[in-house]
């Protein structure tokens, strides 16, 4: 099935995925202007009233860009909603998104029919992120338009499935929009995601090391220096399994190779979970793909690199 028309404006089949604390209007706007979907978690706008200001800024700047660049219009943007009982802002945030008719809503940690209906009522589409085929079925049954397959090696809350295995299963029954996620960090991997059956690559960790990303310099340096073997998969910090940089775990005085299990009932996104160190702020989320990141640079330069690598991989494989 073809992607919804709003994806026609993409220069590269990529979504810059939402990053807690790090994604901000400057990063989203740079991503969209460079031709990939930019996104941010609604919870990054604090207090809640700031969400309205951010959506105003993004809408105005992208409209001005489109007026001045009719031949290279900006890609659409997405807002991520954490659909978990610990998110007390969900209703207010949806109300604000309705006002700005947010084009794409990415839902995580819970699928809800009424949320999909609300997004459809203003003409938006929803993509739900899932870590296995059972959750994928549930998301589509509840009315999501597309799926994000969060596979092994993805930054933040990640699954355990191999991307080939997961994509193959989903494509047996679903022909709608699919984005693939997990350690995709060069243009060849974007093409590989498409070859495997996905429509889009969903890329997070490389955008931490951008000028626009709201991460400490030490965190950005950790992404530049880190390799796949520096990533630790644990549920200690939020109650849900995720991938984090070893150096940040050790800096918190913990033995990264002998972390205790967390109690999932204490899950609270954004808190320190069962540990005193604060997830996302002190404990740095990262996927395994960061070996491909060699410097901190503007998001537009990172996207230009991905684009050139994608074209080269296509030429090499497809002639
Ligand atoms: C630091 C960090 C914060 C994240 N925060 C969120 C979030 O708030 N909401 C969400 O849906 N996904 C979040 N993710 C997951 C990403 O959106 C995406 O699934 C993941 O980064 C893709 O894998 P990659 O980092 O290997 O590219 C986060 C990931 C990282 C690394």
pLDDT tens across the length of the chain (319 residues): 679 999 999 999 999 999 999 999 999 999 999 999 999 999 999 999 999 999 999 999 999 999 999 999 999 999 999 998 889 999 999 999 999 999 999 999 888 999 999 999 999 999 999 999 999 999 999 999 999 999 999 999 899 999 999 999 999 999 999 999 999 999 999 999 999 999 999 999 999 999 999 999 999 999 999 999 999 999 999 888 999 999 999 999 999 999 988 866 555 544 444 556 788 889 999 999 999 999 999 999 999 999 999 999 999 998 8
CA–centroid distance, residue 155 to ligand 1 (Å): 5
Instruction: Please report the atom of ligand 1 found closest to the CA of residue 153.
Output: 26
* Residue 126 contacts residue 143 (beta carbons within 8 Å): yes
Point out which residues pair with 178 in neighbouring strands: 147
Q: Is 278 exposed, middle or buried (0-12, 13-18, 19+ CB in 10 A)?
A: middle
CA–centroid distance, residue 190 to ligand 1 (Å): 17
Nearest 5°: CA angle at 235, between 148 and 144? Answer: 20
Instruction: Please report the atom of ligand 1 found closest to the CA of residue 288.
Output: 26
For ligand 1, atom 10, which residue shows the shortest CA distance? Answer: 18
CA–centroid distance, residue 187 to ligand 1 (Å): 19
Point out which residues pair with 158 in neighbouring strands: none
Best residue for ligand 1 mutational test, from 78, 144, 204, 291 (most atoms within 8 Å of Cβ): 204
- Distance of alpha carbon 104 from alpha carbon 79, whole angstroms: 7
Pocket of ligand 1 (CB under 6 A): 17-20, 22, 41, 80, 108, 129, 150, 154-156, 181-184, 202-205, 280, 285-287, 289
CA–centroid distance, residue 219 to ligand 1 (Å): 15
**What does the buried/exposed string (b/e) look like for 124-148 if buried means 16 or more CB atoms within 10 Å of the residue's CB?**
bbbbbbbbbbebbeebbebbbbbbb
Residue 12 φ/ψ region, left for φ over 0, alpha for ψ in the -120 to 50 degree band, beta for the rest: beta
CA–centroid distance, residue 23 to ligand 1 (Å): 10
Give the E-state strand segments of 134-293 in sequence order.
146-150, 156-157, 178-181, 200-203, 231-234, 242-245
Structure tokens at 64: 């001005």
Instruction: Please report the atom of ligand 1 found closest to the CA of residue 106.
Output: 11
């Amino acid at each position: 099935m073809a992607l919804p028309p709003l994806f026609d404006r993409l220069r590269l089949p990529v979504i810059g995925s939402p990053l807690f604390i790090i994604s901000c209007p400057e990063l989203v706007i740079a991503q969209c202007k460079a031709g990939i979907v930019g996104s941010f978690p609604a919870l990054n706008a604090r207090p809640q009233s700031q969400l309205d200001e951010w959506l105003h800024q993004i809408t105005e700047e992208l409209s001005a860009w489109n007026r001045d660049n009719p031949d290279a219009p900006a890609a659409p943007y997405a807002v991520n909603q954490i659909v978990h009982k610990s998110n007390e802002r969900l209703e207010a945030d949806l109300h604000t998104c309705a006002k700005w008719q947010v084009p794409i809503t990415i839902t995580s940690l819970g699928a809800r029919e009424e949320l999909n209906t609300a997004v459809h009522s203003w003409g938006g589409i929803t993509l739900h992120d899932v870590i296995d085929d059972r959750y994928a079925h549930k998301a589509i049954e509840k009315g999501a338009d597309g799926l994000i397959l969060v596979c092994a090696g993805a930054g933040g809350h990640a699954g355990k499935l191999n991307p080939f295995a997961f994509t193959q299963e989903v494509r047996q029954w679903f022909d709608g929009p699919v984005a693939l996620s997990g350690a995709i960090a060069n243009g060849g991997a974007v093409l590989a995601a498409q070859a495997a059956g996905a429509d889009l690559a969903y890329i997070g960790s490389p955008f931490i090391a951008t000028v626009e990303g709201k991460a400490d310099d030490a965190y950005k340096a950790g992404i530049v220096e880190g390799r796949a073997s520096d990533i630790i998969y644990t549920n200690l910090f939020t109650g849900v399994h995720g991938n984090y940089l070893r150096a940040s775990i050790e800096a918190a005085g913990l033995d990264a190779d002998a972390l205790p299990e967390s109690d999932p009932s204490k899950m609270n996104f954004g808190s320190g979970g069962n540990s005193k160190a604060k997830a996302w702020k002190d404990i740095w989320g990262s996927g395994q793909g960061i070996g491909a990141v060699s410097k901190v640079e503007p998001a537009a330069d990172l996207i230009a690199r991905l684009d050139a690598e994608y074209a080269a991989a296509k030429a090499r494989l497809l002639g």
